[in-house]
Amino acid sequence: MTDVRAWAADGPHEEFKAFGYKLGPLGVDEVDIDVDYCGLCHSDLSMWTNEWGRTQYPFVGGHEVVGRVRATGAQVPNLKPGDKVGLGWFARSDLASRQSMAGDHHLSPGNEGTIMGRHGGFADIVRCQWPWASPLPDDLDVAKAGPLFCGGITVFSPIMSFGVKPTDKVGVVGIGGLGHLATQFLNKWGCEVTAFTSSPDKAEEAKKFGAHKTLNSRDPKSWKEAAGRFDFLLVTVNVTLDWQRLTATLAPKGRLHFVGAVTEPVPVHVPSIMGGQKQVSASPLGAPATIMQMLEFCGRHDIAPLTEHYKMSDINKAIEHLEAGKARYRIILENDF
């Protein structure tokens, strides 16, 4: 049995408090990680408040972990104690599923989440199945890498999976935790990047992240000029926008892709996507192999989230800051147990 010290909330919106729990024997395919840093993601907030109705309390969030391997199960083929690793949203997959066998572990039915039905990385130790503990390249700044394992891979995976090309004109809709990483990725991918935002200060920052152009979503003239322009639009927000207007900015063969879980149905007007052979799609996170490609790409191109750092013991201040919409752009908790 392994004693874990964590920060847990006993109910929606309740304060996080120090909380101890025990992990049972390490499974043969499992890894325990000594947590050094853990990102605080909007999904932690949604889980804390039970927005999705799936939270179990006491709730220990945290699924953007960076740390060092503490112990490995007998059948872990690639890791040893002391290895630097990262862990994101998923903590376990059925490795024999057709999807995992094809390298698409993130699409495997029955995947288990790091903070769904188990305790996450707001702790000194966290456990996962080995494929989801990704080795960190040496050239990556460990203090900032955490958000790559959720926010980062969420936007990197569709760029890979849907064949975005360096010659493409792309738009990033929403410049937040996901959007500011997408902008960096797509800039280094070689694309012409337009940031869609209604906030003038974010438009300025988007340029620093690599946006070549910005589109003020409240300016009708901008929309008009953008008609038929984009090969790939990455929607990182989860609020309802004027989808018809957004779709009209797609070039022939263009794609409107969602990584934000927009809750209201998006009305797709078939005749308006038919003439230009357009597509609408969505994706969740990414596969372990894609995570490794992303980490290598980040190291090679100096891509990192812009982060704000808190001691993990200040988690309540940090989550208040996030909930107030003030995070620029990702929050990282430093383990001070």
CB of 268 to a second copy, least distance (A): 5
269 makes contact with a second copy (CB under 8 A): yes
Site string for a second copy, 77-116 (x = CB under 8 A): ----------------------x----x--x-x-------
Q: In this complex, which beta carbon is closest to a second copy, that of residue 71 or of residue 116?
A: 116
Contacts of a second copy in 276-315 (CB under 8 A): 276-284
Q: Which of residues 129-168 bind a second copy (CB under 8 A)?
A: 161
Contacts 24+ apart (CB under 8 A), 196-199: 196/171, 196/172, 199/175
CB of 133 closer than 8 Å to CB of 31: yes
Distance of alpha carbon 195 from alpha carbon 226, whole angstroms: 12
Question: Tokens for 201?
Answer: 């200060």
- Euclidean distance between CA atoms 246 and 230, whole angstroms: 10
Task: Give whichever of 81 and 163 is closer to a second copy, judged by the CB atom.
Answer: 163
Neighbours of 201 (CB within 10 A): 10
Contacting range for a second copy; rule: CB under 8 A; set: 27-35, 87-95, 131-139, 272-280:
272-280
Binds a second copy (CB under 8 A): choice among 1, 74, 96, 270:
270
Q: How far is CA 219 from CA 180, 223, 230, 257, in A?
A: 21, 7, 18, 22
Q: Identify residues 188-227 at the interface with a second copy (CB under 8 A).
A: none
Residue among 177, 213, 140 at smallest CA distance from 306: 177
Tell me whether residue 326 is exposed, middle or buried, using C-beta atoms within 10 angstroms of its C-beta: 0 to 12, 13 to 18, 19 or more: exposed
- Report, in Å, the least distance between residue 220 CB and a second copy: 22
Residues from 248 through 267 that contact a second copy (CB under 8 A): 252-253, 258-263, 265-267
Q: State the residues that interact with a second copy by CB under 8 A.
A: 99, 104, 107, 109, 161, 228, 252-253, 258-263, 265-271, 273-284
